[in-house]
Each structure stands twice: as structure tokens, then as C-alpha cells.
Chains A and B, each alone.
Chain A
């Protein structure tokens, strides 16, 4: 069996009376794209936050490379190889594009506790940053202010920052949202190649992308995983069709 890189075991989380995660156990194996789909408010982002460490589960554990990281903070999980992109871009808007990716390179390699030499003069860091921009196609916007980027470009930048970390596993929360047909197609091709570097847990509403990319799909409804399987299995699953895909075909 292929190696499990990332795993949740029995994750539960409630917000008052609302149970946003119900005993969620999913795993992400080396080399795969595991798509997480489900209707709005199903609890996809809530699960991602608990995996990344920005939200503590009420019960259950998160394992990264076989180690229980449930007690670790976000930064420590990132250091252990978890690369995350946000549904709503979390970027330093007053900084340039290059500064944003350099920040990623900084977290990945060097220590941020260097007070003298200019960050952008560090050749090693700069190479990592520029390479990441190149890969997502933002190389011509390196010196642009992040606030001036289009929505789609910000989504690309999110991915670029995650790339600088050279993660062992990616968790991406709707990276295609608002990209438009062209942008989605390009990102689909890119993610297709990326899975060879590190597996991707992909939350996505764009079903064309999901069906094109996913090795496996899990369907989340009201905080609960109602099915996990291959694209074919999920497309033909009557429960899933009733709960989520029904209105599509």
C-alpha cells in the first residue's frame, strides 16, 4: 500500500449547536490528489483549518508522516511539511509579490531572526522565491504590489507561497475559485504535475477540475464524510448524487 502522508482520525468540531465536523477520518497518500467536495457550509474549510492547526478539534487527531501533530501549532506543522493555501487569500497586501514569496522561502529555509542583511539580497532565498513565481506564471509581476493584483493572480500567489516551503503535503482550499475557465485549466495542468512532488488534499467546487485531477474523492455533507472513492465510484454513487451531484446531470 502506498504511504499515508496526512491523516485525520475521528475529527469532530462543533460551533454551538452546529456540528461542522462529525468523526471525520480521511487520509492522503503519496502521489495522489484527494479531492474533498461537498455543498456550501458542509465543513470543508473547517476541516482544513483543523488539519493546518488554526482551529483545534473537539476530538480526534491529525497525523503528518505518521506523527501525531494535533497538539502542534500552525507554524510547527508547516515546519514539518504542511503547505496550505487559503480559500480567502491571506497575503501581505502592502508588500510586493516578491516579498510575499520570499517570506515563504524564509520560513522554509533561513531563520527570520536575521536583522542586518536585506532579505531580497539573499541569493538562495531569492532563487527559491523566483522559481516559485515562475512556476505559477507570476514571474513578470514580481515587483508589483500585492494589493494591485487581480483576484486570479492572488490565487496564483497563494499557490506560489505554498510551493516555496517544498511541503510533504499540500492542503488547498478552493484554489480555482474565481479563476475563470482559462485560469482553472492552467492550474489544473499545474496541479496535475505537482502531485508527483507532494500529494494534495484539494477542496474544490469546480467539478471539471475535480474529475480531471482526483485519484480519490471524499464527499462531505453536514460535516460528515458520506463517501470516499474513485471518480467513477463517486459519480455513480446514488447517495452522493442525491446529496450533492444530483443537480449537475
Chain B
């Protein structure tokens, strides 16, 4: 077993043991913190497919996070007010069912990623970063100026959505749902990295010319990666909205895009558990330092700087050494 897989197992155990401890010790706030970490990790895992495997530096992943969030907000708010979303030409009603909301979040953020990908993946480097940022900002301003769903003030949801057979209002049960989703997605990502698609995408990041020369279009690979990436981040957005029972334009902001990227870089780009470690560290720092100073982001920035300068593989790279993002 490699040091990295050992590290991953430890991380996974922590994600099980810490909330269990909090549950037994009756510390619901700690469970909520863990839930937040797991959801943000999921958003980062989504970005990591584009960024880590595909080398696509997207500064617009808040777009998908926000779309997932608003998918939840819109569906749940209509269910809560018993008013249909659409009456003609056919009836679409709101819902409080988590699985349905997730599905809508995944599909709508996937479609958005496909569209943004088509328009932005012809460019590379700084232009790609700027175009993805611009799309994120576009949705941000759109959400602000759309009064039907709260506009600038955001949209509160008064009840948590339901999952068959579970009490989602119980913090530990909601945590269980989020953790299970993260675990499933991580498993999928581990497979993806070794699949023919992962092999080709990873090669296209290193040398697009080679990939073309064997008859594969790098553009199509990247478009598929960007879409899958957006779907996962969108799902995280829906869960995040459910955690807070609130959606607002902040989910679309470029700061959100930046934070998702910070998780990935902190933990280790292209490492399966990179975003998980990154998001956990982020939440930990926010909790510890946020109490000391309103300007805790300065310390975060400092840490990020140190990592970028001295530990290119992020936390995982430092612990587990250089290497095998796939062996």
C-alpha cells in the first residue's frame, strides 16, 4: 500500500470517527462543521476533475455550486408555498425530496457546464481562467437581479428537505447522507482516474499533441471532464443549500470559486483526497482562527502562499510524497 492510500484511509476514518464522537458527546455544532467540510470537499472533488486531471484552471466553479444551490432553493420554496413552478404548457411542481432535488441539481449544473465548456474550452491559459470567471460573475449578477427568488437577500427555506426513511433534521443523519455521497463520488473518481477516459484526459493535460496524434480529440475529453466536474460541484451546491436552509448570490460569487480552488490546492491538486483534506483544513482554520480575528483569511492566505511556494503537492504531497496520482 502506498503512503497516499494509507493517508486516505486515515482521513476517511477521521470523517467517520469525529462526527461519531460529536454525536456521542452531544456536540451538534461540531457535526454541522463536519457536514460543511464534507460538502465543501465534494465541491472541491468536482473541481479537481477539471483542474487536477484535466489541467483546466476554472475560476468559475461557483456557477455550478450556485446552480445546485438554487435548484434546491427554487424547488423547495415552491413546495413550501404550494405554488407550482410552471403551470403551462405542463405542470412542474416544487419538491422537498432530496433525491429529486439532487437529480435536478446535477442535470442543470451539468448542462450549464456543457454550455460554458463549449464556449470556453477553445481557449487556454489566462483566457480560460478569465472566461470561466466571467461566466460565474454573469450568474452572480443574474441571481442578484432576479427578485422572484430573493434577489440580493437570498432565499430562506424553512424546512429541511426529506430523504426516505431518514430524519434529515437530525444533524448526524444529515451528515451521514452527505458523507455517503462524498464516499460514492470519491469511489467514482478513483475509478475515473484509471479508466480509459482518465488516462486520455491526464495525457491531454501533459501533451495534447500526443493525444491528437493517436486520434483522440483533447477538446472532447476536456468538455466531458468539465461537464462531470460541474455536475459534482452542482450536487455539492444543493447539499450546501440544504445544510444552511438558505441560498443566496454569495454561492455564485468569485470568492466561492476561489475558495473551492483553495481546497484543492491546500490538499493537493490531482490527489483523490486533496479537496477533502483541503476543505477540512479550511473549516478547521475558520473555526480556530475565525474566533481570534475577523481577518483570519490573512492567515489562510499565508498558509496558501507557503504551500504554493514550498509544498507543491499540497498537504498530501508533503505527507505522502511525490507521485502516483494513478499507479
**A74-B209, A103-B216, A119-B194 known, 14 other contacts, Cβ within 8 Å:** A79-B215, A92-B210, A102-B199, A103-B203, A103-B210, A103-B211, A110-B196, A112-B221, A113-B224, A114-B195, A115-B195, A117-B191, A122-B196, A125-B196
Q: How far is the CB of B327 from chain A (nearest CB, A)?
A: 8
Residues of B within 8 A of A115 (CB): 188, 191-192, 195, 197-198
- How many angstroms between the C-alpha atoms of A119 and B217 in the bound complex? 18
Chain A: minimal CB distance from B184 (Å): 13
| A103 contact set on B, CB distance < 8 A | 199-200, 203, 210-211, 214, 216
Decide if B197 touches A75 in the complex (CB within 8 Å): no
Query: Which chain A residues border B195 with CB–CB below 8 Å?
Result: 114-119
Query: 5 smallest A-B Cβ distances: which pairs?
Result: A107-B214, A78-B215, A107-B215, A74-B212, A112-B200
Contact of B215 with A165 in the complex, beta carbons under 8 Å:
yes
* Bound complex: CA A115 to CA B192 (Å): 5
**Complex interface residues of chain A between 62 and 97 (CB less than 8 A to chain B):** 73-76, 78-79, 84, 86, 90-95
**Shortest beta-carbon distance, B263 to chain A, in Å?**
22
Residue B213 at the chain A interface, CB threshold 8 Å: yes
A95 pairs with B206, CB closer than 8 A:
yes
A106 within 8 A of B: yes
Determine whether the beta carbon of A84 is less than 8 Å from that of B213.
yes
Q: Is B77 an interface residue (CB 8 A)?
A: no
User: Separation in Å of the A249 CB from the closest CB of chain B?
Assistant: 37
Q: Which single residue of chain A is at the shortest CB-CB distance from B201?
A: A112
Chain B residues with Cβ below 8 Å from A113 are: 196-197, 220, 224
Q: Is B132 an interface residue (CB 8 A)?
A: no
Asked if B214 and A111 sit within 8 Å, CB to CB, the answer is no
Cβ-defined contact, B198 with A119, below 8 A? yes
Chain B residues near A90 (CB-CB < 8 A)? 207, 209-210, 213
In A14-60, which residues have CB < 8 Å from any B CB?
Answer: 52-54
Q: How far is the CA of A122 from the CA of B227 in the complex (A)?
A: 25
Jot down 30 A-B pairs with beta carbons below 8 A, ordered by A.
Answer: A53-B212, A73-B217, A74-B209, A78-B212, A78-B214, A86-B209, A90-B207, A90-B213, A93-B206, A94-B206, A99-B203, A100-B203, A103-B199, A103-B214, A106-B196, A106-B200, A106-B214, A107-B214, A108-B215, A110-B196, A112-B197, A112-B199, A114-B195, A116-B192, A116-B195, A118-B191, A118-B195, A119-B194, A119-B199, A165-B214
Contacts of A161 in B (CB 8 A): 210, 213-214
Complex Cα–Cα for A89 and B175 (A): 49
The listed residue with most B CB atoms (<10 A of its CB), out of A73, A76, A94, A164, is A94
B35 at the binding interface (Cβ < 8 Å): no
Q: Is B202 an interface residue (CB 8 A)?
A: yes
Give the CA-CA distance A113 to B221 in the complex, in Å: 8
A→B interface (CB under 8 Å): 52-54, 73-76, 78-79, 84, 86, 90-95, 99-100, 102-104, 106-108, 110-120, 122, 125, 161, 164-165
Bound complex: CA A76 to CA B210 (Å): 13
Q: For A100, list chain B residues within 8 Å (CB).
A: 203, 210
CB closest chain-A residue, reference B213: A84
Interface string of B160-199 (1 = CB under 8 A from A): 0000000000000000000000000000100110111111
Rounded to whole Å, the gap between the CB of B210 and the closest CB of chain A is: 4
A94 to B323, CA, bound (A): 8
**Neighbouring B residues of A94 by C-beta, 8 Å:** 202, 206, 325
Q: Are B202 and A92 in contact (CB under 8 A)?
A: yes
A94 to B212: give the CA distance in the assembly, Å: 18
A75-B215, A93-B206, A107-B216 known; A99+B224 contact, CB < 8 A: no
Write the B207-240 contact mask toward A (1 if CB under 8 angstroms, else 0): 1011111111100110010000000000000000
* Of the residues B194, B202, B213, B224, contact of A74 by C-beta under 8 Å: B213
With A112-B221, A115-B197, A118-B195 given, is the CB distance from A54 to B212 under 8 Å? yes
Chain A, Cβ-Cβ closest to B197: A115
Interface of chain B residues 17 through 31 with chain A (CB within 8 A) = none
Judge whether B197 and A114 touch: CB under 8 Å.
Answer: yes
Q: Mark B116-140, 1 if CB is under 8 A from A, else 0.
A: 0000000000000000000000000
Residues of A within 8 A of B192 (CB): 115-116
- Chain B residues within an 8 Å CB radius of A54: 209, 212
Decide: A95 near B202, CB < 8 A? Known: A114-B195, A115-B191.
yes
Cα separation A75 to B325 with both chains bound (whole Å): 26
- Give chain A nearest CB distance to B301 CB in angstroms: 29
Chain B: minimal CB distance from A132 (Å): 12
Q: Which residue of A lies closest to B207 (CB)?
A: A90
* Closest CB in chain A relative to B193 CB, distance in Å: 9
Partner of B196, one of A95, A111, A164: A111
Contacts of A117 in B (CB 8 A): 191, 195-196
Which residues in B have their C-beta under 8 angstroms from that of A112? 196-197, 199-200, 216, 221
